[in-house]
Structure 1
Amino acid sequence: MASAQQAEAVPWQAEAQVVAAQKRTVRLLAAAQIVGGVGVGVASSLGSLLAESVGQSETYAGLARTAMAAGAAAVGVPLAFIAQRRGRRSSLSAGWLAAALGGFILVAAAVLESIPLLVVGMLLFGIGSATNQQSRYAAADLAMPDRRARALSIVVWSTTIGSVIGPNLADPGAAVASALHLPPLTGAFLLASVCMTLASVLLWAWLRPDPLVLSRRRPEGEAEPPKTGASAAVPSDSMGDTLRMVREHLRRAPRAAFAFLAIVVAHTIMVAVMTMTPVSMARHGETLTVVGITISGHLLGMYAFSPVVGWLADRFGHLPVALAGQAIFVVSALLSGLSHGSVAMVMAGLLLLGLGWSFSLVAGSALLSEATPARLRPGVQGTADTVMNVVAAVGASLSGPLMSSVGFGGLNAIAGILVLPVVVCSFRLARIRTRYGQWPRRGLDSKP
């Protein structure tokens, strides 16, 4: 009897075939992130320049950034719906392939000097960002409950490599473009498209077994019995059904709602402040070199420490680490807001801004996966990414007028205030913990 109870206490993720599948999944996702992330790096650094050269106007540089952001936001839920119906393999490989197609269309836009093709290409190229973001969730599908954040953080960390390589493809890309008699900037996009295609092929060919499909065949201790067979593979008939189920789950699951809010708020704060920091530094007479070093430090904070953040989240709890991210945001806002042109304070503030984002995103994403049943997970995760991209885009568009009216210090003060909803939401979870004597599990999440 004792041995039987001990066997029941061992989670299904500890089974040998699941452990092997998880290791294989994380390795493949990391490789795809490195290769596909090159394209994301190219988009962020050279997309505006390509648009400006095609349109012969700075106006089109802003249009490129907007189109890529719109593409990333618009495709979050559709990619999640594909994952819900077909699994992670189909969703992620389709996302990278669509982004690669966008890169080839951008090359055609530059050759033909076509603005409509430019917009279509940028929209599709933006899908790469959404795919890059959703890849992190696939790492948590088969992870041990006490290692979800670490598995997820490895995929987040892998993005660092692609984001560093991508911006440096301008010169190699120019050599490729020259050999093919194409406009100079198109070479980098050709290389990026090849990399994104390779990421798609890697996932389509070798992401077997599909981690999400495999996880649905295993018990999770949910409030209702896990689905099997066709109902497990196809939880809903339409995207509308999926969204309704997502809304209902977030309404009834306080931990999932907290994680959802923490992810959206963190991304909004990060994008709004990061967007205006170079403008503020330029107004104080800083050189482009100093601005570049500052942004590099920010990216370091976002990605480089994510494995450490993942370990902390698994060791001390996802919710406490997500709350620690809010505290880091406040310290960041104080340093940047009170800098008065001090380069050292702005650098420190922006480094902490990236670190606060890492704490919130890694811990929040792991908690969102933990607090959501496998059959609903892609829809909830995709909706979170869509909302965070949409709200962050609005925040970025408002950050300029806000800085003009209240200054860089005022913008950081507003960013610091934005953490309050996350803190308030945590109080609700504290009351539930007091009621049940522990942090609620999914079964309790469904109770009023």
Structure 2
Amino acid sequence: MTIDAPDPAAAREALYRRTLTVVMASQVFSGAGLAAGVTVGALLAASMLGTTSLSGLPSALFTAGSAATALLVGRLSQRLGRRAGLTAGYAAGALGGAGVVLAATIGSIVLLLVSLLVYGAGTATNLQARYAGADLVGPQRRGRAVSSVLVATTLGAVAGPNLVTVTGHAAQHWHIPALAGPFALAAVAYAGAATILFILLRPDPLLASRALPPAEPAAVPAGTPHAPAPRTAGVTAGAATMVLTQLVMVAVMTMTPVHMKAHGHGLGATGLVIAVHIAGMYLPSPVTGLLVDRVGRIPVAVAAGVTLLAAGIVSATAPESSVGLLALALALLGLGWNLGLVSGTAIITDAAPVQTRAKTQGAVDLCVALAGAGGGIASGMIMAATSYATLSVAGGVLALAVIPFVASADRRARRRAAAEEPRVTSPV
């Protein structure tokens, strides 16, 4: 792909703005699709399987599907561009959502499990879209580029859980179980996102970034917030940040609707708490992106671990009757995830060269999704064996493991920066 323009920098900036507009529009739709499984997936599984001990299975399945899709979308994007990868991922998510609706209608557990696996493609693609925002900018703006894509998800993601009751009534009108209604919304939303990207994401941002001159300067000044760690250390630190925050967030989030139902809360209250949680996941993105670019990747990653610990403590100590405190805990849980995702994404993008960037990002997102799947499976078992409070505190403590990973990468970055500084010799 070639870009013919008298001013390559202006061409890059114009394409960046167009790309951001198109991707943000698709994220509004995909956010609604993402929220369906989060809100009622565990409840639908508990209803069909007849036990709460396996209620974490839906989260594990669509997160496992997300893992496989992350790798495939990354590889497809590497070869054919973001447009091809993201469109295919959202189309698969739409197919999975429709399959869940059919499974609930005919009472097929096997079809439900398979469809949840395929539905996970939408989750992976929703996250992969954040990389499209950073393809055309240098390190000084990457945090804000990623956050712009994430915040666009907020509108659909917050609206989705609050439409649980409406979609449930609509589903019952068509003789479909009420808990399958949000998945019908997901199928339509993911299909809408796929259509927007397929038609409008031209030229492709990843392919264009290879054709245009680099946006980043030849050398990043030592000591700046975006000075990258060596490639291996940077990828490891970014991956660890996102893996740990994803694992903790999925584990606690998945069991919150089950915990609330067990203490007499209805779908409306559950939808409200999950909506607040998803707002916490995406709405702070502009501020997070600014902090990542101005303060630095490492401090924000550390803040992610501390915030998740606070979320665990609040959720563990909140009275079962208090929807407000549960909402606060889930908001903190979402905020901690947001801090980890934006900082981790910036660290990964800094470390990966553009020639292999999409492949590396897909592999990292595979690890992130597998961590979420593990958290989803373990959460139901831990809660059945102990309690929601134990699960929450354990998750918060685990999140602090982010700190040694990013501290190690920071030390290596500082050593490299010191080694690259020109030596000053004193006059004799």
Scaled to the shorter chain, the TM-score interval is 0.7 to 0.9
Does residue 209 (structure 1) correspond to residue 241 (structure 2)? The answer is no
Matches within 5 A, 1:400-419: 400-403=380-383, 407-419=387-399
**2:368 partner amino acid:** M
- Contact preservation (8 Å) 1:173, 1:191: no
**1:425 partner amino acid:** F
Q: CA deviation at 1:157?
A: 1.4
Question: 1:409, 1:48 → 2: CA distance?
Answer: 18
Matches within 5 A, 1:320-359: 320-339=299-318, 343=322, 346-359=326-339
- Contact preservation (8 Å) 2:24, 2:149: yes
Given candidates 268, 275, 281, the residue that maps to 2:254 is 275
Question: 1:327, 1:110 → 2: CA distance?
Answer: 40
Q: 1:203 to 1:439 in 2, by over 3 A?
A: farther
Q: Secondary structure at the match of 1:15?
A: helix
Which residue is 1:317 aligned to? 296
**1:422 partner amino acid:** V
Moved more, 185-194 or 199-208: 185-194
Which residue is 1:264 aligned to? 243
Matches within 5 A, 1:158-173: 158-167=152-161, 168=163, 171=166
Does residue 396 (structure 1) correspond to residue 391 (structure 2)? The answer is no
Matches within 5 A, 1:20-419: 20-47=14-41, 57=50, 64-110=58-104, 112-167=106-161, 168=163, 171=166, 175=170, 178=173, 183=176, 185=178, 189-220=183-214, 253-278=232-257, 285=263, 287-288=265-266, 292-339=271-318, 343=322, 346-403=326-383, 407-419=387-399
Question: 2:270, 2:44 → 1: CA distance?
Answer: 22
Question: 1:64, 1:21 → 2: CA distance?
Answer: 39
TM-score, normalized by length of structure 2? 0.80
Q: CA deviation at 1:347?
A: 4.2
Which residue is 1:444 aligned to? none
Q: 1:137 to 1:36 in 2, by over 3 A?
A: same
Q: Secondary structure at the match of 1:139?
A: helix
Q: CA deviation at 1:81?
A: 0.9
**1:194 partner amino acid:** V
- Contact preservation (8 Å) 2:34, 2:123: yes
Q: 1:431 to 1:342 in 2, by over 3 A?
A: farther
Q: CA deviation at 1:17?
A: 0.9
Q: 1:23 to 1:177 in 2, by over 3 A?
A: farther
Q: CA deviation at 1:142?
A: 0.8
- Contact preservation (8 Å) 2:43, 2:257: no
**1:263 partner amino acid:** M
Which residue is 2:4 aligned to? none
Question: 2:420, 2:115 → 1: CA distance?
Answer: 45
- Contact preservation (8 Å) 1:174, 1:188: no
Q: 1:105 to 1:403 in 2, by over 3 A?
A: closer
CA deviation string 1:92-131 (max 9, x = no partner): 0011112222334344445555444333332222211111
Q: 1:36 to 1:16 in 2, by over 3 A?
A: same
- Contact preservation (8 Å) 1:173, 1:189: no
- Contact preservation (8 Å) 2:56, 2:379: no
- Contact preservation (8 Å) 1:433, 1:440: no
Which residue is 2:426 aligned to? none
- Contact preservation (8 Å) 1:97, 1:196: yes
- Contact preservation (8 Å) 1:433, 1:439: no
Which residue is 1:432 aligned to? 412
Higher relative contact order at CA 8 Å, sep ≥6: structure 1 or structure 2? 2
Q: 1:66 to 1:102 in 2, by over 3 A?
A: same
- Contact preservation (8 Å) 1:432, 1:439: no
- Contact preservation (8 Å) 2:61, 2:117: yes
CA deviation string 1:266-294 (max 9, x = no partner): 111112222344555667x5634655544
- Contact preservation (8 Å) 1:174, 1:184: no
Q: CA deviation at 1:310?
A: 0.9
Moved more, 306-315 or 393-402: 393-402
Q: Secondary structure at the match of 2:176?
A: coil
RMSD: 3.5
- Contact preservation (8 Å) 2:56, 2:380: no
Question: 2:413, 2:244 → 1: CA distance?
Answer: 23
- Contact preservation (8 Å) 2:298, 2:407: no
Q: 1:176 to 1:252 in 2, by over 3 A?
A: closer
Q: 1:32 to 1:274 in 2, by over 3 A?
A: same
**2:308 partner amino acid:** F
Q: Secondary structure at the match of 2:244?
A: helix
TM-score, normalized by length of structure 1? 0.77
What is the percentage of aligned positions where both structures have the same residue?
37
CA deviation string 1:129-163 (max 9, x = no partner): 11111111111111242211111112111222222
Moved more, 30-39 or 430-439: 430-439
Unaligned segments of structure 2, at least 5 residues: 1-6, 219-228, 422-428
Question: 1:258, 1:357 → 2: CA distance?
Answer: 15
Q: 1:73 to 1:437 in 2, by over 3 A?
A: closer
Q: Secondary structure at the match of 1:320?
A: helix
- Contact preservation (8 Å) 2:136, 2:215: no
Which residue is 1:15 aligned to? 9
